[in-house]
Structure 1
Amino acid sequence: MKIIRLAAPIALAAAVTGCSREGEISVEGGVGIQATRTACPIVGVPAGTGDITLFDPPASRDAAAIDLVGNITNVRSECSESGNDVVTTVTFDVQARRARTDAARSVTLPYFIAIVRGGTNVTAKRVGEVTINFPAGQARAQAQGSATSVVARSAATLPDEVREQLTKRRRAGEEEAAVDPLSAPGVRAAVARATFEALVGFQLTDDQLRYNATR
Protein backbone atom coordinates (compact mmCIF):
# COMPACT_ATOMS: atom_id res chain seq x y z
CA MET A 1 0.00 0.00 0.00
CA LYS A 2 1.34 3.43 -0.88
CA ILE A 3 0.25 6.64 0.83
CA ILE A 4 -0.28 9.70 -1.37
CA ARG A 5 -0.04 13.18 0.13
CA LEU A 6 -1.48 16.17 -1.68
CA ALA A 7 -0.65 19.77 -0.85
CA ALA A 8 -2.40 22.48 -2.83
CA PRO A 9 -3.67 26.03 -2.15
CA ILE A 10 -7.25 24.86 -2.14
CA ALA A 11 -9.79 23.67 0.37
CA LEU A 12 -12.35 20.93 0.13
CA ALA A 13 -16.06 21.51 0.63
CA ALA A 14 -19.27 19.53 0.45
CA ALA A 15 -22.94 20.45 0.41
CA VAL A 16 -25.23 17.98 2.16
CA THR A 17 -22.96 15.02 1.32
CA GLY A 18 -19.55 13.59 2.10
CA CYS A 19 -18.86 14.59 5.72
CA SER A 20 -21.76 17.02 5.89
CA ARG A 21 -24.83 16.51 7.98
CA GLU A 22 -28.22 15.98 6.35
CA GLY A 23 -30.20 19.02 5.30
CA GLU A 24 -32.65 20.31 7.88
CA ILE A 25 -36.05 21.81 7.17
CA SER A 26 -36.22 25.43 8.31
CA VAL A 27 -39.60 25.96 10.01
CA GLU A 28 -39.00 28.90 12.35
CA GLY A 29 -40.88 31.54 10.43
CA GLY A 30 -39.16 30.78 7.13
CA VAL A 31 -39.39 28.41 4.20
CA GLY A 32 -37.03 26.16 2.31
CA ILE A 33 -34.27 23.71 3.18
CA GLN A 34 -31.30 24.61 5.37
CA ALA A 35 -28.12 22.91 4.10
CA THR A 36 -25.07 22.59 6.33
CA ARG A 37 -21.73 23.03 4.58
CA THR A 38 -18.43 21.56 5.71
CA ALA A 39 -14.80 21.87 4.68
CA CYS A 40 -14.61 18.08 4.18
CA PRO A 41 -14.63 16.88 0.56
CA ILE A 42 -17.24 14.97 -1.31
CA VAL A 43 -15.61 11.54 -1.72
CA GLY A 44 -16.39 9.14 -4.55
CA VAL A 45 -15.30 7.10 -7.58
CA PRO A 46 -15.64 8.62 -11.07
CA ALA A 47 -17.80 6.65 -13.51
CA GLY A 48 -15.84 4.11 -15.52
CA THR A 49 -12.79 4.03 -13.21
CA GLY A 50 -13.98 1.76 -10.41
CA ASP A 51 -12.90 -1.49 -12.06
CA ILE A 52 -9.99 -2.75 -14.13
CA THR A 53 -9.66 -5.79 -16.41
CA LEU A 54 -6.37 -7.38 -17.45
CA PHE A 55 -6.17 -9.70 -20.46
CA ASP A 56 -3.78 -12.44 -21.52
CA PRO A 57 -2.72 -11.84 -24.22
CA PRO A 58 -2.97 -8.07 -23.47
CA ALA A 59 -4.26 -7.15 -26.94
CA SER A 60 -7.22 -9.54 -26.76
CA ARG A 61 -10.66 -8.46 -25.62
CA ASP A 62 -12.27 -11.90 -25.68
CA ALA A 63 -14.01 -13.04 -22.51
CA ALA A 64 -11.91 -16.21 -22.57
CA ALA A 65 -8.75 -14.07 -22.38
CA ILE A 66 -9.68 -12.25 -19.16
CA ASP A 67 -6.78 -12.72 -16.77
CA LEU A 68 -7.80 -10.60 -13.78
CA VAL A 69 -10.61 -8.27 -12.72
CA GLY A 70 -10.23 -5.72 -9.93
CA ASN A 71 -12.85 -3.51 -8.26
CA ILE A 72 -12.63 -0.52 -5.93
CA THR A 73 -15.16 -0.77 -3.13
CA ASN A 74 -15.89 0.37 0.44
CA VAL A 75 -14.62 3.91 -0.11
CA ARG A 76 -14.61 5.90 3.14
CA SER A 77 -12.94 8.98 4.59
CA GLU A 78 -11.79 10.57 7.81
CA CYS A 79 -11.62 14.34 7.88
CA SER A 80 -10.14 16.85 10.32
CA GLU A 81 -11.30 20.45 9.97
CA SER A 82 -9.31 22.00 12.82
CA GLY A 83 -6.92 24.84 12.07
CA ASN A 84 -6.27 26.42 8.69
CA ASP A 85 -5.83 23.12 6.88
CA VAL A 86 -8.34 20.41 6.07
CA VAL A 87 -6.77 16.95 6.29
CA THR A 88 -8.72 14.14 4.66
CA THR A 89 -7.67 10.50 4.51
CA VAL A 90 -9.50 8.40 1.94
CA THR A 91 -9.28 4.62 2.25
CA PHE A 92 -10.75 1.95 0.01
CA ASP A 93 -10.61 -1.77 -0.65
CA VAL A 94 -9.47 -3.35 -3.90
CA GLN A 95 -11.03 -6.76 -4.50
CA ALA A 96 -9.57 -8.87 -7.31
CA ARG A 97 -10.38 -12.14 -9.03
CA ARG A 98 -7.97 -14.06 -11.27
CA ALA A 99 -8.55 -16.80 -13.82
CA ARG A 100 -5.51 -19.04 -13.18
CA THR A 101 -4.91 -20.19 -9.61
CA ASP A 102 -2.12 -22.76 -9.98
CA ALA A 103 0.65 -20.63 -8.40
CA ALA A 104 1.05 -17.74 -5.97
CA ARG A 105 1.00 -14.35 -7.69
CA SER A 106 1.35 -10.66 -6.90
CA VAL A 107 -0.32 -8.03 -9.08
CA THR A 108 0.28 -4.29 -8.72
CA LEU A 109 -2.54 -2.02 -9.87
CA PRO A 110 -2.25 1.78 -10.28
CA TYR A 111 -4.85 4.12 -8.81
CA PHE A 112 -5.28 7.88 -8.56
CA ILE A 113 -6.73 10.50 -6.27
CA ALA A 114 -7.91 13.72 -7.92
CA ILE A 115 -9.17 16.94 -6.34
CA VAL A 116 -11.95 18.43 -8.46
CA ARG A 117 -13.26 21.96 -7.97
CA GLY A 118 -16.72 22.98 -9.07
CA GLY A 119 -17.44 19.58 -10.57
CA THR A 120 -15.16 19.98 -13.60
CA ASN A 121 -11.78 21.54 -12.76
CA VAL A 122 -9.09 19.06 -11.68
CA THR A 123 -6.80 21.06 -9.39
CA ALA A 124 -4.52 18.24 -8.20
CA LYS A 125 -3.89 14.60 -9.03
CA ARG A 126 -1.51 11.94 -7.76
CA VAL A 127 -1.03 8.30 -8.78
CA GLY A 128 -0.24 5.45 -6.39
CA GLU A 129 -0.13 1.67 -6.46
CA VAL A 130 -1.78 -1.14 -4.54
CA THR A 131 -0.46 -4.72 -4.61
CA ILE A 132 -2.76 -7.75 -4.53
CA ASN A 133 -1.20 -10.99 -3.25
CA PHE A 134 -2.83 -14.26 -4.33
CA PRO A 135 -1.79 -17.42 -2.44
CA ALA A 136 -1.47 -20.56 -4.54
CA GLY A 137 -4.88 -22.07 -5.27
CA GLN A 138 -6.78 -18.88 -4.39
CA ALA A 139 -8.84 -17.11 -7.05
CA ARG A 140 -9.73 -14.06 -4.93
CA ALA A 141 -7.70 -11.60 -2.88
CA GLN A 142 -8.07 -8.15 -1.38
CA ALA A 143 -5.88 -5.21 -0.42
CA GLN A 144 -6.40 -1.67 0.85
CA GLY A 145 -5.40 1.64 -0.69
CA SER A 146 -5.11 4.99 1.06
CA ALA A 147 -4.52 8.61 0.09
CA THR A 148 -4.22 11.73 2.26
CA SER A 149 -4.89 15.30 1.15
CA VAL A 150 -3.80 18.41 3.06
CA VAL A 151 -5.31 21.62 1.69
CA ALA A 152 -6.08 25.17 2.80
CA ARG A 153 -9.51 26.01 4.15
CA SER A 154 -9.69 29.52 2.65
CA ALA A 155 -10.85 28.52 -0.84
CA ALA A 156 -13.89 26.75 0.60
CA THR A 157 -15.11 29.91 2.33
CA LEU A 158 -17.98 31.70 0.63
CA PRO A 159 -17.82 35.52 0.38
CA ASP A 160 -19.88 37.27 3.05
CA GLU A 161 -22.32 38.70 0.52
CA VAL A 162 -22.97 35.27 -0.98
CA ARG A 163 -23.39 33.69 2.44
CA GLU A 164 -25.91 36.42 3.30
CA GLN A 165 -27.95 35.71 0.17
CA LEU A 166 -28.01 31.99 0.88
CA THR A 167 -28.90 32.25 4.57
CA LYS A 168 -31.32 35.18 4.42
CA ARG A 169 -34.62 34.22 6.03
CA ARG A 170 -37.50 34.12 3.55
CA ARG A 171 -41.08 34.09 4.75
CA ALA A 172 -43.97 32.37 3.02
CA GLY A 173 -45.91 34.76 0.80
CA GLU A 174 -42.98 37.07 0.15
CA GLU A 175 -41.74 37.39 -3.43
CA GLU A 176 -38.20 36.35 -2.45
CA ALA A 177 -39.53 33.09 -0.99
CA ALA A 178 -40.37 31.86 -4.50
CA VAL A 179 -36.87 32.58 -5.87
CA ASP A 180 -34.03 30.10 -5.47
CA PRO A 181 -30.92 32.12 -4.50
CA LEU A 182 -28.81 29.66 -6.50
CA SER A 183 -30.59 30.84 -9.66
CA ALA A 184 -28.42 33.98 -9.51
CA PRO A 185 -25.34 33.31 -11.71
CA GLY A 186 -22.96 35.03 -9.29
CA VAL A 187 -24.18 33.01 -6.31
CA ARG A 188 -24.13 29.76 -8.26
CA ALA A 189 -20.58 30.42 -9.47
CA ALA A 190 -19.36 31.28 -5.96
CA VAL A 191 -20.82 28.06 -4.53
CA ALA A 192 -19.22 26.03 -7.33
CA ARG A 193 -15.82 27.60 -6.64
CA ALA A 194 -16.11 26.63 -2.97
CA THR A 195 -17.20 23.03 -3.66
CA PHE A 196 -14.55 20.31 -3.98
CA GLU A 197 -14.44 16.55 -4.46
CA ALA A 198 -11.79 13.94 -3.65
CA LEU A 199 -12.16 11.21 -6.27
CA VAL A 200 -10.35 7.87 -6.37
CA GLY A 201 -10.25 5.33 -9.20
CA PHE A 202 -7.97 3.05 -11.17
CA GLN A 203 -5.41 4.81 -13.35
CA LEU A 204 -6.56 3.26 -16.63
CA THR A 205 -5.05 3.35 -20.09
CA ASP A 206 -7.11 4.70 -22.98
CA ASP A 207 -7.85 1.12 -24.09
CA GLN A 208 -9.02 0.17 -20.60
CA LEU A 209 -11.27 3.22 -20.40
CA ARG A 210 -12.80 2.33 -23.78
CA TYR A 211 -13.35 -1.25 -22.63
CA ASN A 212 -15.15 -0.10 -19.49
CA ALA A 213 -17.31 2.28 -21.50
CA THR A 214 -18.32 -0.17 -24.24
CA ARG A 215 -18.54 -3.63 -22.64
Structure 2
Amino acid sequence: MSRKLVVLATLALLGTTACSRRGEIDASGGITAVRTVCPSVGVPAATGDITLFSSPTDRTADAIDVTASITNVRATCSDGGDPITSQLTFDVLARRTNTDGAREVTLPYFTTVLQGGSVIVAKRVGRVTLRFEPGQARAQASGTGTAYITRAAATLPEDVRRQITRERKAGQEDAAVDPLADPAVRTAVAKATFEALVGFQLTDEQLRYNVTR
Protein backbone atom coordinates (compact mmCIF):
# COMPACT_ATOMS: atom_id res chain seq x y z
CA MET A 1 0.00 0.00 0.00
CA SER A 2 2.99 2.30 0.24
CA ARG A 3 3.88 4.62 -2.61
CA LYS A 4 7.12 6.29 -3.72
CA LEU A 5 7.58 9.78 -2.34
CA VAL A 6 10.30 10.87 -4.74
CA VAL A 7 8.38 13.85 -6.15
CA LEU A 8 7.21 15.05 -2.76
CA ALA A 9 10.63 14.59 -1.21
CA THR A 10 12.28 16.47 -4.06
CA LEU A 11 9.94 19.40 -3.54
CA ALA A 12 10.70 19.29 0.14
CA LEU A 13 14.38 19.59 -0.53
CA LEU A 14 14.29 22.64 -2.78
CA GLY A 15 15.45 25.77 -0.97
CA THR A 16 13.12 28.53 0.25
CA THR A 17 13.80 32.20 0.83
CA ALA A 18 11.78 34.91 2.53
CA CYS A 19 11.29 36.91 -0.68
CA SER A 20 10.58 33.99 -3.03
CA ARG A 21 7.25 32.41 -3.82
CA ARG A 22 6.47 28.86 -4.91
CA GLY A 23 7.89 28.11 -8.34
CA GLU A 24 10.02 31.25 -8.60
CA ILE A 25 13.72 31.42 -9.43
CA ASP A 26 15.64 32.91 -6.53
CA ALA A 27 18.79 35.04 -6.62
CA SER A 28 21.06 32.00 -6.66
CA GLY A 29 19.34 30.55 -9.71
CA GLY A 30 17.55 27.77 -7.82
CA ILE A 31 13.84 27.08 -8.07
CA THR A 32 12.02 27.49 -4.77
CA ALA A 33 9.24 25.32 -3.39
CA VAL A 34 7.34 25.28 -0.13
CA ARG A 35 7.11 22.14 1.96
CA THR A 36 3.79 21.78 3.73
CA VAL A 37 3.12 19.91 6.96
CA CYS A 38 -0.28 18.87 5.59
CA PRO A 39 -0.47 15.28 4.36
CA SER A 40 -0.93 14.49 0.69
CA VAL A 41 -4.11 12.55 -0.06
CA GLY A 42 -4.89 9.63 -2.31
CA VAL A 43 -6.23 6.11 -2.77
CA PRO A 44 -3.84 3.16 -2.30
CA ALA A 45 -3.39 0.88 -5.30
CA ALA A 46 -6.03 -1.87 -5.67
CA THR A 47 -8.29 -0.44 -2.93
CA GLY A 48 -10.27 2.14 -4.91
CA ASP A 49 -12.72 -0.39 -6.35
CA ILE A 50 -14.91 -3.12 -4.94
CA THR A 51 -16.93 -5.86 -6.65
CA LEU A 52 -19.77 -7.83 -5.09
CA PHE A 53 -20.93 -11.08 -6.69
CA SER A 54 -24.34 -12.76 -6.72
CA SER A 55 -22.71 -16.16 -6.23
CA PRO A 56 -20.40 -17.14 -3.35
CA THR A 57 -18.17 -19.12 -5.75
CA ASP A 58 -18.63 -17.70 -9.26
CA ARG A 59 -16.28 -14.82 -10.15
CA THR A 60 -17.19 -14.48 -13.83
CA ALA A 61 -18.59 -11.28 -15.34
CA ASP A 62 -22.07 -12.83 -15.42
CA ALA A 63 -22.02 -13.13 -11.61
CA ILE A 64 -21.19 -9.49 -10.88
CA ASP A 65 -23.84 -7.96 -8.64
CA VAL A 66 -22.55 -4.51 -7.65
CA THR A 67 -19.41 -2.56 -8.50
CA ALA A 68 -18.30 0.64 -6.80
CA SER A 69 -15.34 3.00 -6.95
CA ILE A 70 -13.95 5.84 -4.84
CA THR A 71 -13.36 9.13 -6.62
CA ASN A 72 -13.04 12.89 -6.04
CA VAL A 73 -10.92 12.54 -2.89
CA ARG A 74 -10.44 16.01 -1.42
CA ALA A 75 -8.84 17.39 1.74
CA THR A 76 -9.23 20.51 3.83
CA CYS A 77 -6.17 20.87 6.04
CA SER A 78 -5.96 23.00 9.18
CA ASP A 79 -2.24 23.43 9.77
CA GLY A 80 -2.33 26.27 12.29
CA GLY A 81 -2.69 24.14 15.39
CA ASP A 82 -1.37 20.96 16.92
CA PRO A 83 -2.28 18.34 15.90
CA ILE A 84 -2.55 19.19 12.23
CA THR A 85 -6.02 18.15 11.06
CA SER A 86 -6.97 17.12 7.54
CA GLN A 87 -10.68 16.60 6.81
CA LEU A 88 -11.20 14.20 3.91
CA THR A 89 -14.25 13.89 1.68
CA PHE A 90 -14.83 11.57 -1.26
CA ASP A 91 -17.55 10.19 -3.51
CA VAL A 92 -18.53 6.58 -4.09
CA LEU A 93 -20.03 5.75 -7.49
CA ALA A 94 -21.80 2.40 -7.76
CA ARG A 95 -23.57 0.34 -10.38
CA ARG A 96 -25.78 -2.73 -9.96
CA THR A 97 -26.71 -5.41 -12.47
CA ASN A 98 -30.23 -6.25 -11.29
CA THR A 99 -32.33 -3.09 -11.22
CA ASP A 100 -35.51 -4.66 -9.78
CA GLY A 101 -36.91 -2.73 -6.80
CA ALA A 102 -35.18 -0.41 -4.39
CA ARG A 103 -32.02 -1.54 -2.66
CA GLU A 104 -29.46 -0.30 -0.17
CA VAL A 105 -25.84 -1.44 -0.24
CA THR A 106 -23.45 -0.63 2.61
CA LEU A 107 -19.72 -0.75 1.90
CA PRO A 108 -16.85 -0.50 4.40
CA TYR A 109 -13.98 1.91 3.81
CA PHE A 110 -10.85 2.93 5.69
CA THR A 111 -8.96 6.14 6.26
CA THR A 112 -5.34 5.76 7.24
CA VAL A 113 -2.33 7.96 7.97
CA LEU A 114 0.87 6.70 6.40
CA GLN A 115 4.31 7.92 7.49
CA GLY A 116 7.35 7.71 5.27
CA GLY A 117 5.48 5.78 2.59
CA SER A 118 5.30 2.55 4.59
CA VAL A 119 4.37 2.95 8.26
CA ILE A 120 0.68 3.03 9.21
CA VAL A 121 0.34 5.30 12.24
CA ALA A 122 -3.47 5.45 12.39
CA LYS A 123 -6.41 3.71 10.77
CA ARG A 124 -10.17 4.04 11.07
CA VAL A 125 -12.92 2.05 9.37
CA GLY A 126 -16.23 3.61 8.36
CA ARG A 127 -19.22 2.69 6.20
CA VAL A 128 -20.99 4.36 3.33
CA THR A 129 -24.52 3.41 2.24
CA LEU A 130 -25.72 3.67 -1.34
CA ARG A 131 -29.41 3.64 -2.21
CA PHE A 132 -30.66 2.42 -5.57
CA GLU A 133 -34.16 3.51 -6.52
CA PRO A 134 -36.47 1.07 -8.37
CA GLY A 135 -35.20 0.59 -11.92
CA GLN A 136 -32.06 2.59 -11.20
CA ALA A 137 -28.72 1.02 -12.11
CA ARG A 138 -26.48 3.73 -10.64
CA ALA A 139 -26.16 5.31 -7.21
CA GLN A 140 -23.84 7.77 -5.54
CA ALA A 141 -22.94 8.55 -1.95
CA SER A 142 -20.33 10.58 -0.07
CA GLY A 143 -17.91 9.59 2.67
CA THR A 144 -15.70 11.44 5.11
CA GLY A 145 -12.61 10.85 7.19
CA THR A 146 -10.19 12.76 9.40
CA ALA A 147 -6.41 12.54 9.68
CA TYR A 148 -4.50 13.87 12.70
CA ILE A 149 -0.73 14.44 12.66
CA THR A 150 1.37 15.95 15.41
CA ARG A 151 3.26 19.05 14.32
CA ALA A 152 6.54 17.77 15.75
CA ALA A 153 6.33 14.59 13.67
CA ALA A 154 5.71 16.54 10.44
CA THR A 155 8.50 19.08 11.06
CA LEU A 156 12.03 18.52 9.78
CA PRO A 157 14.80 18.76 12.40
CA GLU A 158 16.54 22.13 12.28
CA ASP A 159 19.91 20.70 11.27
CA VAL A 160 18.34 18.82 8.37
CA ARG A 161 16.39 21.89 7.29
CA ARG A 162 19.58 23.97 7.27
CA GLN A 163 21.38 21.35 5.21
CA ILE A 164 18.55 21.30 2.68
CA THR A 165 17.99 25.02 2.35
CA ARG A 166 21.51 26.41 2.61
CA GLU A 167 22.63 28.39 -0.42
CA ARG A 168 24.83 26.54 -2.89
CA LYS A 169 26.83 28.49 -5.47
CA ALA A 170 28.07 27.33 -8.82
CA GLY A 171 31.59 25.98 -8.63
CA GLN A 172 31.27 24.67 -5.08
CA GLU A 173 32.18 21.03 -4.71
CA ASP A 174 28.71 20.01 -3.52
CA ALA A 175 26.70 22.49 -5.63
CA ALA A 176 25.18 19.77 -7.79
CA VAL A 177 24.85 17.15 -5.05
CA ASP A 178 21.27 16.22 -4.22
CA PRO A 179 20.79 16.45 -0.42
CA LEU A 180 18.78 13.23 -0.68
CA ALA A 181 22.04 11.45 -1.44
CA ASP A 182 22.73 11.72 2.29
CA PRO A 183 20.96 8.75 3.95
CA ALA A 184 20.35 10.77 7.13
CA VAL A 185 18.59 13.54 5.18
CA ARG A 186 16.60 11.04 3.15
CA THR A 187 15.46 9.26 6.30
CA ALA A 188 14.52 12.52 8.05
CA VAL A 189 12.45 13.72 5.07
CA ALA A 190 10.63 10.40 4.81
CA LYS A 191 9.94 10.36 8.55
CA ALA A 192 8.42 13.86 8.40
CA THR A 193 6.30 13.10 5.31
CA PHE A 194 2.72 11.88 5.74
CA GLU A 195 -0.13 10.73 3.53
CA ALA A 196 -3.85 10.53 4.30
CA LEU A 197 -5.28 7.64 2.30
CA VAL A 198 -8.81 6.39 1.64
CA GLY A 199 -9.84 3.01 0.23
CA PHE A 200 -12.38 0.23 0.50
CA GLN A 201 -11.85 -2.16 3.41
CA LEU A 202 -11.50 -5.28 1.27
CA THR A 203 -11.38 -8.91 2.21
CA ASP A 204 -8.33 -10.88 1.13
CA GLU A 205 -10.37 -12.39 -1.69
CA GLN A 206 -11.61 -8.99 -2.89
CA LEU A 207 -8.07 -7.62 -2.86
CA ARG A 208 -6.80 -10.59 -4.88
CA TYR A 209 -9.59 -10.06 -7.39
CA ASN A 210 -8.63 -6.40 -7.83
CA VAL A 211 -4.96 -7.23 -8.29
CA THR A 212 -5.46 -10.08 -10.76
CA ARG A 213 -8.50 -9.05 -12.81
The normalised TM-score by structure 1 is 0.87
TM-superposed deviation, 1:35: 2.6
Aligned to 2:23: 24
**More deviation in 136-145 or 79-88?**
79-88
Aligned to 1:8: none
Aligned to 1:202: 200
SS at match of 1:131: strand
TM-superposed deviation, 1:23: 5.2
Aligned to 1:38: 36
**Is residue 111 of structure 1 aligned with residue 96 of structure 2?**
no
Aligned to 2:128: 130
Q: How big is the alpha-carbon RMSD for the aligned residues of Structure 1 and Structure 2?
A: 1.6
Aligned to 1:83: 81
Letter in 2 for 1:208: Q
Aligned to 2:52: 54
Q: Identity, % of aligned pairs? A: 59
Per-residue Cα deviation, 1:183-207 (whole angstroms, up to 9, x for no partner): 1000000001000000100000011
Aligned equivalents of 2:83, 2:122: Cα separation in 1 = 16
Change (3 A) 1:53 1:108: same
Letter in 2 for 1:171: K
Letter in 2 for 1:27: D
Aligned equivalents of 1:26, 1:118: Cα separation in 2 = 29
Aligned to 2:5: none
TM-superposed deviation, 1:53: 0.3
Aligned equivalents of 1:63, 1:103: Cα separation in 2 = 22
Q: How many residues align?
A: 197
Per-residue Cα deviation, 1:43-70 (whole angstroms, up to 9, x for no partner): 0000000000000113210100000000
Aligned equivalents of 1:89, 1:59: Cα separation in 2 = 39
Contact 1:30 1:169 in 2 (8 A): no
**More deviation in 83-92 or 131-140?**
83-92
Unpaired segments ≥5 residues, structure 2: 1-7, 13-20
SS at match of 2:174: helix
Aligned equivalents of 2:143, 2:56: Cα separation in 1 = 25
TM-superposed deviation, 1:172: 1.7
Letter in 1 for 2:208: R
Higher strand share: 1
TM-superposed deviation, 1:27: 3.3
Contact 1:30 1:172 in 2 (8 A): no
Please identify runs of 4+ aligned residues in structure 1 that moved more than 3 A.
14-17
Letter in 2 for 1:37: R
Letter in 2 for 1:128: G
Aligned equivalents of 2:29, 2:165: Cα separation in 1 = 11
